[in-house]
Amino acid sequence: MTRPPSTNQLRNWDRRYLWHPFTQMQEWEQEHPLIIERGKGSYLIDTEGRKYLDGTSSIWVNIHGHRHPVLDRAIKKQLDKIAHSTFLGLSNPPAIELARELIRIAPKGLTRVFYSDNGSTAVEIALKMAVQYWQQRHPKVGPKNTFLHLKLAYHGDTLGAVSVGNIALFHSKFKPLLFPTVEAEPPHCYRCPLNLTHPSCRMACIEPIEQIFKIRHRELAGFIIEPLMQAAAGMIPQPSGYLTRLRELCTQYKILFITDEVATGFGRTGTMFACEHEKITPDLMAISKGLTGGYMPLAATLTTDEIYKGFLGRYDEFKTFFHGHSFTGNPLGCAVALANLHVFRRENTLTRLSSKIKLMTRWLKPIADTSHVGDVRQRGFMVGIELVRDKATKEPYPLSAKAGHRVAAMARSKGLILRPIGNVLVLMPPLSTTVEELKKMVEILKKSIETLSID
């Protein structure tokens, strides 16, 4: 029997053959990478048997913990039937049943589900649907071939998603490949671009958006936003009422309202979808990450009957939405996604989450008083802690100082996995995290921040 490779052998192979995402490989090649072999509940376990609390939900996807028996069984049961068959010209039971369940829990008015593979593709589909919808349903209202989005936005890494993004570090090198868009300042209350203070500002940041709508509504196919929290921007929350007003303006100016719930969906903000906090329904909604509970790559774009009808016609009219992926509607992914929703109901996940969110808020308060912390931002189980060089002036650490990276490295040595966004430490644990585990995560995080020392 062949012996499995040792940890050192795996590390050597990793450094020799792999190219990791969002990673400076020159530095990686000098490190001793952590290799995760197993998981159980809120813990990741490496090849040496060491356990780490999963403070990132394995980059925001895990919901009910690792190796949940219901999710494990769902994949095994489906695998006994079939792993995959095409969704082009065929269908399958898990995809059909999942679509029905998604419409049941989605904001009222969303009635159709289009599957894809990941958050970027779900956004791409929403953008393409919006442009084609206006051409086919209401061609006289204007060219409707571009989009408005917020600055600091991140909606994925495919070129359409990058076009409606605005994180220079990720996107600037690809500008020649992107289509033109319109940008507006986000409601960044900690670093307000208007130098105002909430709530006395009365959300003045919406006024420039309304002006853009007035002037350019004939060319705008849609407005895209991560509702309630701009995640990859550094966990930037939106004030209460912001989404409601944007929904009203989009309706008024006949601009499709597109919500990217890839990061905010499936309980992350305390409700199944972030849109529910203000009881709004988008025209298009992109979902992924938590859709399968963190088990399989699967995404969906949900939309209304009105948009769906814009694609109906005779075969020779070619109003079809000519877009698809090889693994669209994958039965394994859909089966585990169905099980994921079943666990939500059976374990009362959202109800039980409420008290944990309140405890987390309380435990985070002492961190806000730490000398290196400028701001603590929270929406449900989504937390961003911004590290600053000077608390009074809000002067940030230069990225070369790697402040976030240093704190994350210290947290890892104490048994907590984090993935910072520059100077912002992100804590987004699985929803199933116990009260004891959650408290331990926050304690490790606080102690790790207190060790930060940069001249």
Confidence check: pLDDT of 82 > 80: yes
- For the structural domain made of 73-346, what CATH number should be given? 3.40.640.10
Contacts 24+ apart (CB under 8 A), 131-137: 131/221, 132/310, 132/311, 132/321, 133/221, 133/256, 133/307, 133/310, 133/311, 134/221, 136/310, 136/311, 136/313, 136/319, 137/306, 137/307, 137/309, 137/310
Strands 416-417 and 51-54: parallel
Tens-place pLDDT, residues 99-132: 999 999 999 999 999 999 999 999 999 999 999 9
Average pLDDT, the chain: 96
CATH code given to domain 34-64+351-450? 3.90.1150.10
Evaluate if residue 137 carries a pLDDT over 90.
Answer: yes
Question: Nearest CA to 375 among 398, 395, 350?
Answer: 395
CB of 381 closer than 8 Å to CB of 270: yes
Instruction: Please report the pLDDT score of residue 38 as a whole number.
Output: 98
pLDDT at residue 47, as a whole number: 97
Q: Which run of H or E residues covers position 35?
A: none
E-only strand ranges, 294-390: 299-304, 373-379, 382-390
Exposed/middle/buried for 309, CB within 10 Å: 0-12, 13-18, 19+?
middle
Q: Given a cut of 80, is residue 1 above it in pLDDT?
A: no
Element of type H or E holding 314 = none
User: Which pLDDT value is given to residue 3?
Assistant: 87
Could you give phi then psi for residue 414, rounded to 5 degrees?
Answer: -100, 0
Residue 44, SS3?
A: strand
Q: Quote the pLDDT of residue 455.
A: 61
pLDDT tens per residue, range 83-100: 999 999 999 999 999 999
Q: 143-160: per-residue pLDDT in tens?
A: 999 999 999 999 999 999
In the predicted model, what is the mean pLDDT of residues 221-225? 98
Contact 222, 283 (CB under 8 A): yes
Look at 172 and 339; give whichever has higher pLDDT: 339
Say which amino acid occupies 200: S
Mean predicted confidence (pLDDT) in 169-178: 92
- Decide if pLDDT at 440 tops 90: yes
Closest CA to 225 of 276, 272, 260: 260
The residue written with tokens 């109800």 in the block is: 351
The yes-or-no verdict on residue 360 having pLDDT over 70 is yes
CA-nearest of 151, 164, 249 to 207 is 249
**Phi, psi of 438, rounded to the nearest 5 degrees:** -60, -45
Tokens coding 451:
């060790």
Residue 432 has pLDDT above 90, yes or no: yes
pLDDT at position 454 over 80: no
Q: Note whether 225 and 246 are within 8 A (CB).
A: yes
Equal fold, 34-64+351-450 vs 73-346: no
* pLDDT band, very low/low/confident/very high, at 350 (cuts 50, 70, 90): very high
Q: How far is CA 173 from CA 103, 156, 215, 345, 363, in A?
A: 39, 15, 30, 44, 40
The H or E element containing residue 137 is: helix 119-137
Report, as an integer, the average pLDDT of 35-56.
98
Question: Residue holding tokens 């959300």?
Answer: 203
Residue 190 above 90 pLDDT? yes
Lookup: tokens for 233: 């921007």
Q: What is the reported pLDDT for 380?
A: 98
Q: Which residues pair with 421 in a beta bridge?
A: 424
Q: Write down the domain spans for the chain.
A: 34-64+351-450, 73-346
> What percent of the chain is helix, strand and coil (3-state, nearest 5)?
40, 20, 40
Q: How long a stretch of residues is the chain? A: 455
- Predicted local distance difference test score (pLDDT) of residue 169: 86
Handedness of CA 287, 288, 289, 293 (dihedral sign): positive
Quick: pLDDT tens for 281-333. Answer: 999 999 999 999 999 999 999 999 999 999 999 999 999 999 999 999 999 99
As beta bridge partners, residue 145 has none
Mean per-residue pLDDT, 373-378:
98
Give residue-wise pLDDT tens across range 46-80.
Answer: 999 999 999 999 999 999 999 999 999 999 999 99
